[in-house]
Chain A
Amino acid sequence: MVMSVPLRPLSSGLAATDGSVAIMLALASHMIKHTYWSKDIIFLFTQHEFVGVQAWLDGYFEVQTSSYVKAERLPARAGLIQAAINLELSGMSFGGIDVLIEGINGLLPNLDLVNLVHKLARENGIRSTIHHRPDLFSKDLDKLVPHNILTTFTMMANLATGMPSGNHGLFLRFRVDSLTIKSAPGGSSGLNSVGQLVEGVFRSINNLLEKFHQSFFFYLMPCTYRYISIGLYIPPFALMVAASLIQAIMLWSRFTFEVDTKKSKLIANQDQAFTSDGKFTDDTIHTLRLPDNVVQGVYSLIPLIVGCHLSGLMLLKAPSLFGGGEVKQMPAADTVILGGLAGIVSSMMLIRTVLRKEEFDGINWYLFKTISLIYHGLTLFLLSLLNISLAAIVAAFTVPVYTVIRPTSYKLLTGLQMLLLLLISPVSIILICQTLYNVVTGNAQIHSLEFFSLLTDLQHSVLYAIIDHLVYKNYLLNIVCLVLYPTWLMFWSLLFMNV
């Protein structure tokens, strides 16, 4: 068992953790007197927030998660870690506790541990909250349901980023169930009651014979005493994504049907296949270029799909390329962002020019859209098993647009579709979500909704995502660059295909 407290310098600007230091020292001197402890208890002080925790974990498990954090040999250790509780209590009296559970890459601790903390808090008369949102005890469903939905969304938004909400989050990578107990402002409960709560949590874990394994690891919490299990949230999500799969099947059947009819028509009316001067008509050329079978059709699409993914890979590698400080008089932050944007725009333009080439005339957009939709649907399903919140958010934005996108000969319609696609590009999704989250949680002032502050917000999000990716191995950037962005690029190229 691990009890950890982050040490923060006064200048850090973060909430102090003096209360948790007091509780930890008091509990340590209390616990040492008893012989009923069946497990070793590690009291851990960490520095530099996540970096400190990651360094300790790397040292403990003897791995190197990131090349930017190097761990030294640990002089003391215990065996397998069963659970970790991170305490972030500031001051000597609190308005309650805020239980943070979101871990790295959308991992969650076992629900039993979460329930244990909430239940013990209730028993001890401490108000427990999720992301500072207390439970609403009301019989009025009109008030209760929106409140709980909003709580769920706050949790989902936190999960989708893939970043832990507290120092506990990095433990989850090593299958150590952990959570953070944070203090809420106010003054209703003191150190004593929270100390009792923490002792209760440790005594409970101590009494466990086995590792946490029985209950849920996939859940969402609308309030402290209810949960939505994977069995409940997957079907609605599946319905969302099913739209794109259904359309893929429809296009597939239409494609095969069309190829068959066109070819048979061509064979039937061979005289119509030629113009008066004995050449093929345009229609004939088009029909002849249709693949004989599906496999051939898919082969012709491979260069395009690979190209989309290559540009995604380039985008992933761009930060280390542009952030090297080669460009003078410009901070690394700006060069990285501008470099990334340049990469996106250039690949968008490149696709367009490439598709104008003769060799791509034979591509049938039905087949291409079918494959893109199936690819999109499958990646979303895969993602939902790893991080349901991220998958749901992405699906909510992309599925409606991707299903309606089709090449047209109308310039205006094409322009409109381009606008729609740009609106749901990964970059815009980040921007929209950031703004929404700020508005919902009340973090944003009105003036910060201005365009430039939005841009700085975007810049910050992207930079943080890059740092998280490099230092903590958060795979959000990988997913965006290697899956979401190539898919988006595939649909973008769809617009420029022959009708």
Chain B
Amino acid sequence: MRHLMLLVATLHLLNTAHVFGNDKFTESLQLEPLDNHLVLGQFKFSVTSSPNVLTTGHYHLFPKSLGEILHKYHIQELELSLTQGLWRYARWGIPSDGVANPPGASILVHFDSELPLEDVDKHWKGLINSLAGFICASLNYADNTVATSPQYTFTPRGAFNANKTFQHSHLRYANLPQENVCTENLTPWKKLLPCGGQAGLSSLLNSKPLFDSNYHSMSIIVRPQCKTSECDSINLNLTLGLSVVLAHPKKDYFTLSFLFRNSVGRECHIAESSTVVVKFPTVGKLSLHLESPPDNTVSSEQHTLASYKVTSNFNLKASYKVKPTYGAVAPPVLHTLRYLSGYGQEYGSIVCEITNNAEELIQIVYMEYIPWFLRIYLHTLSITSNGSKVPVSKLLYSPGLERKKPSMFELLLNLPANATTVIRFDVEKLFLKWTEYPPDANLGFHVPAAIITGVIPDAPEGSSIQMLREGYGVVRFYTEKLVVLLPTPDFSMPYNVICLACTVVALAFGSIHNLTTKILIRPKEKKIPIMQRITRKIKKVLGFKVEEAVTSTQQVQSSTDKTPAGETTPRNETSVDSEPTVDGEVSLEDSEVTQRD
């Protein structure tokens, strides 16, 4: 019996080891100094697994929670990013792939091309709801009224079956620019890591410095990947990326523990490789001196890459060769400025200025993606550069429908060399129904970032070049998101009116109800003989007791039980009292209140 149990255990172990051999986990952190006392940290945790895990359900390193979602909704590629802040191209340059993401939450999904077209919308809806719970973000708002399917901007970036054609109808992209990113998103994200934020580089993920940063973006990217260069079989690759721009003011050096206010504790033994790469310009004011010698250095004329293998209690110190100063930064080859022009709450125009600093034409795809609450006037679209018109090679326009789908257009453009190209079109701001306003209506509504996709001549070097190759050498730029003030009614006014009206009604109801529903009938006066009256007066003067009990306890009989409030009875009483009675003697039977219809 004991032998049998041992055998089972061994088999089980063997089995694990076998599949574990297929799953591969690597982690890396790339640090790069930026101008003006900033450092870009780029974490990359990559799990490579066999695509069979999805069908067999034998999960090892690949997170099961995510795998089930991918399998259920027939997803071929998934890119999910949660970003706070804006990657400032003009100051920080063009980053390597995956660092810059649009502000807020964005989801890009390629559904399996075998999925029937009519199921795509249904699957999308299921997917966003699952992902919303999965990452604790309100992605469920990115429903079919928000999502769009651009044709040129996004192409599959993973391994792609050449027999299948890419259909943009199986692609969905949505961006929720108002989404805030915080620890509640980081925690589920960390849980996807094999070492779960306990060991290895993931132990550096301390939420305080991460969120007290100039820019941070976390992403989940799932793509099929070629196993070999021949690409005869496919692996499933999950990349969990986190990019953060951290400040270290007034210091001429930075250390790992200083930047992340945490240090690497134990190694993550599951990781096949665990590296820290420092990338810096070989010469220039951002050139670095590294305290401890790196394990490996690759150097070109422009950039140096120094890599370290992460061990227990790993730390790193890099000091600037020249003391860093604040100052103007030379802009990169391509940078953008997007803004809302005009004022008022009815009309405006959206302007995007794209500056091409290169000596050659740059071909780009410009995608503008506008929520339905802005009506765009495509006929006002003008693309100019230094006053002359820039020809559009192709324009793809998917008009928006109020409350149904967003407007989206894609432009294929050749940006003239050494010039700024201005794309401008007019929008009308919609007057929403009053239930459609969010509680903070006066905050304004967010318009997602535009996306510029192009092959940039002077793309960043080093490891990022490799990344670019993976993405066919294409760089995606995300512009600023916009905040638009829609015509907003004064929501506090109805509240005030309701309060006031209710008070008035409450105060006035009782008395008005009484006045309108009841009639006061004066009691019949009894004719008292004159002699009796005189004697009574005399008695009174003399101090005799006169039967006046009836008069003083005169009551108005609330004849029916329909009298609304208790207070009305005494009020009626007083009003009857104030009626001048001839003698003050009214009998109980005579006084009555009748209900009027």
Q: Which of A77, A78, A175, A210 contacts B343 (CB 8 A)?
A: A175
* A210, closest chain B residue (CB): B442
Which of chain B's residues 201-225 have a Cβ closer than 8 Å to chain A? 212-214
* Contact, CB under 8 Å: A211 / B247: no
A79 & B341 in contact (Cβ 8 Å cutoff): no
Q: Which of B411-446 contact A (CB under 8 A)?
A: 440-444
* B182 interface residue (CB < 8 Å to A): no
A26 on the B face (CB < 8 A): no
For residue A33, CB closer than 8 A to chain B, the reply is yes
B333-359 near A? 1/0 per residue, CB < 8 Å: 000010111111000010100000000
- Asked if A210 meets B482 with Cβ closer than 8 Å, knowing A61-B342, A61-B343, the reply is no
User: If the complex has contacts A63-B343, A174-B343, are A33 and B485 also in contact, measured as CB distance less than 8 A?
Assistant: no
Q: Which of B443-487 contact A (CB under 8 A)?
A: 443-444, 480, 482-483, 485
Residues of chain A within 8 A of B351, CB atoms compared: 62
Asked if residues B341 and A80 are in contact (CB atoms below 8 Å), the reply is no
Q: How far, in angstroms, from A222 to B441 measured CA to CA in the complex? A: 33
Which residue of B213, B349, B444, B480 contacts A211 across the interface (Cβ within 8 Å)?
A: B444
Q: Mark B213-257, 1 if CB is under 8 A from A, else 0.
A: 110000000000000000000000000000000010100000000
Q: Is A446 an interface residue (CB 8 A)?
A: no
How many A-B Cβ pairs are below 8 Å? 45
- Could you say which interface size class chain B belongs to? 20 to 34
Residues of A contacting B490 in the complex (Cβ-Cβ under 8 angstroms): 213
- Interface flag for A67 (CB, 8 Å): no
Known: A33-B247, A175-B343, A211-B444. A80 touches B483 (CB 8 A): yes
Contacts of A175 in B (CB 8 A): 343-344
Q: How far, in whole Å, are A33 and B337 apart by their CA atoms in the complex?
A: 24
Asked if B492 is at the interface of the complex by the 8 Å CB criterion, the answer is: yes
> B342 to A214, Cβ gap below 8 A?
no
**Could you say which interface size class chain A belongs to?**
10 to 19
A213 contacts across to B, CB distance below 8 A? 442, 488, 490
User: Considering only CB atoms, which chain B residue lies closest to A213 in the complex?
Assistant: B442
Q: Are B443 and A209 in contact (CB under 8 A)?
A: yes
Q: Is A35 an interface position by the 8 A CB rule? A: yes
**Beta-carbon contacts under 8 Å, A9-66 to B:** 33, 35, 61-63
Q: Which of A33, A63, A77, A210 contacts B342 (CB 8 A)?
A: A63
Q: Chain A residues near B442: list those with CB within 8 A.
A: 210-211, 213
Residue of chain B at shortest CB distance from A36 = B212
Report Cα–Cα, A35/B211, bound state, in Å: 9
A77 to B485, CA, bound (A): 17
Residue of B nearest to A79 (CB): B483
When A35-B214, A61-B342, A80-B483 are in contact, do A211 and B443 touch as well, CB less than 8 Å? yes
The answer on a CB contact under 8 Å between A77 and B337 is yes
Residues of B within 8 A of A76 (CB): 337
CB of B324, distance to nearest CB on chain A (Å): 14
Q: Given A210-B442, A210-B443, A214-B492, are A80 and B342 neighbors across the interface (CB < 8 Å)?
A: no
> Do A79 and B247 touch across chains, with their CB atoms under 8 A apart?
no
Given A35-B213, A35-B214, A62 contacting B443 (CB threshold 8 A): no
Could you tell me the distance between the alpha carbons of A328 and B340 in the complex, rounded to whole angstroms? 49
Least CB distance from A50 to B in Å reads: 18
A64 to chain B, nearest CB (A): 12
Nearest Cβ on chain B to A376's Cβ, whole angstroms: 32
Across-interface contacts of B247 in A (CB, < 8 A) = 33, 35
Distance of A35 Cα from B341 Cα, bound (Å): 27
Contact B485 A80 (CB under 8 A): yes
Cα of A33 to Cα of B249 in the assembled complex, Å: 7
Q: A214 to B444, alpha carbons, bound, how many Å?
A: 15
If A79-B482, A211-B485 touch, whether A62 touches B341 (CB-CB below 8 Å) is yes
Q: Which residue of A lies closest to B337 (CB)?
A: A77
Q: Chain B residues with Cβ under 8 A from A78's Cβ?
A: 339
Residue B340 contacts which of A35, A79, A209, A211 (CB distance < 8 angstroms)? Answer: A79
For residue B480, which residues in chain A have a CB less than 8 angstroms away from its CB?
Answer: 79
Chain A 169-204 near chain B by CB (<8 Å), digits 1 or 0: 000001100000000000000000000000000000
Question: Whole-angstrom distance between the alpha carbons of A76 and B331 in the complex?
Answer: 13
Q: Do A35 and B212 touch across chains, with their CB atoms under 8 A apart?
A: yes
Tell me whether A79 and B339 are in contact in the complex, defined as CB-CB below 8 angstroms, given that A33-B249, A210-B443, A211-B444 are known contacts.
yes
* Chain A residues positioned under 8 Å from B443 (CB to CB): 209-211
B483 touches A62 (CB 8 A): no
B341: contacting residue among A61, A209, A210, A211, CB under 8 A = A61
CA distance in complex: A63, B351 (Å):
14
Q: Which residues of B contact A35 (CB under 8 A)?
A: 212-214, 247
Which B480-516 residues have a C-beta within 8 angstroms of A? Answer: 480, 482-483, 485, 488, 490, 492
With A and B bound together, what is the CA distance between A110 and B576 in angstroms? 54
Q: Given A35-B214, A210-B440, A214-B492, A77 and B249 touching (CB < 8 A)?
A: no
Contact with A along B556-591 (1 / 0, CB 8 A): 000000000000000000000000000000000000
Give Cα A211–Cα B337 distance, bound, in whole angstroms. 24
- In the complex the two chains form, what is the Cα distance from A74 to B441 in whole Å? 29
Per the bound structure, the CA–CA distance linking A77 and B488 in Å amounts to 25
- Distance A214 CA – B492 CA, assembled complex (angstroms): 8
Can you list 10 residue pairs at the A/B interface with Cβ under 8 Å? A62-B342, A63-B343, A79-B482, A80-B340, A80-B485, A175-B344, A211-B444, A213-B442, A213-B488, A213-B490
Task: List 12 other contacts, CB 8 Å, given A76-B337, A209-B443, A213-B490.
Answer: A33-B249, A35-B212, A35-B213, A61-B341, A62-B351, A77-B339, A79-B480, A79-B483, A80-B485, A175-B344, A210-B440, A211-B442
The 5 A-B residue pairs whose C-beta atoms are closest, nearest first, are: A210-B442, A62-B341, A174-B343, A213-B442, A61-B343
